[in-house]
């Protein structure tokens, strides 16, 4: 049983990474899709009860944002993995500018997430922690170290 928590501002590749790497094995929980915390909590509770591997595909910029998922998953014996998505504001804004419709996030929201961003740490309760960058159209996954 595995709980995966994504951390990174908008337009850093989180959902695309999910589709490429975890779609076949993990259920995706995303506020973009579920719209409310109430719905998210119901799906999360179902994943926990069913021992279903899942991904929290939200920005999760702060330790407090991540803490509820970590504590619930730990209490239910899930392995907890975090993928931190490289969050260069200029790159994210540039990628976001190519999005259409509701997928295009207002610049002020992207900058707001960036300003709140707290780099994840093993001390939060993660069993595994990875850094994800983008080179061209490829994801580069690196083992975590505190020098990133």
| Residues in the chain with pLDDT values less than 70 | 146-148
**pTM for the model:** 0.93
Query: What pLDDT does 92 receive?
Result: 86
CATH of the domain at 101: 3.40.50.300
Evaluate whether residue 148 is within a structural domain.
no
How many domains is the chain partitioned into structurally? 1
Distance CA 97, CA 105 (A): 8
**Residue-level pLDDT at 22:** 98
pLDDT for 102 equals 82
Q: What Å distances lie between residue 28 and 100, 129, 136, CA to CA?
A: 22, 19, 25
Residue 95 confidence (pLDDT): 86
Mean pLDDT of the chain: 94
In a domain, 8, yes or no: yes
Report pLDDT digits (tens) over 79-98: 999 999 987 899 888 888 88
Check residue 136 and give its pLDDT. 84
The domain in which residue 96 lies consists of: 2-143
* Residue 146, pLDDT score: 61
Tell me if 16 is assigned to some domain. Answer: yes
């Amino acid at each position: 049983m595995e709980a995966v928590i994504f951390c990174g501002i908008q337009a850093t590749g989180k959902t695309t990474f999910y589709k490429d790497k975890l779609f076949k094995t993990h259920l995706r929980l995303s506020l973009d899709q579920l719209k409310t915390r109430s719905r998210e909590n119901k799906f999360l509770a179902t994943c926990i009860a069913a021992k279903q591997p899942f991904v929290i595909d939200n920005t999760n910029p702060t330790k407090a944002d991540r803490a509820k998922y970590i504590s619930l998953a730990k209490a239910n014996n899930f392995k907890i993995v975090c993928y931190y998505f490289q969050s260069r504001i200029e790159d994210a804004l540039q990628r976001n500018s190519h999005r259409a419709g509701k997928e295009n996030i207002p610049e002020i929201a992207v900058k707001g997430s960036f300003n709140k961003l707290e780099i994840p740490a093993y001390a939060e309760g993660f069993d595994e922690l990875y850094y994800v960058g983008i080179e061209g159209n490829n994801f580069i996954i690196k083992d975590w170290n505190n020098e990133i």
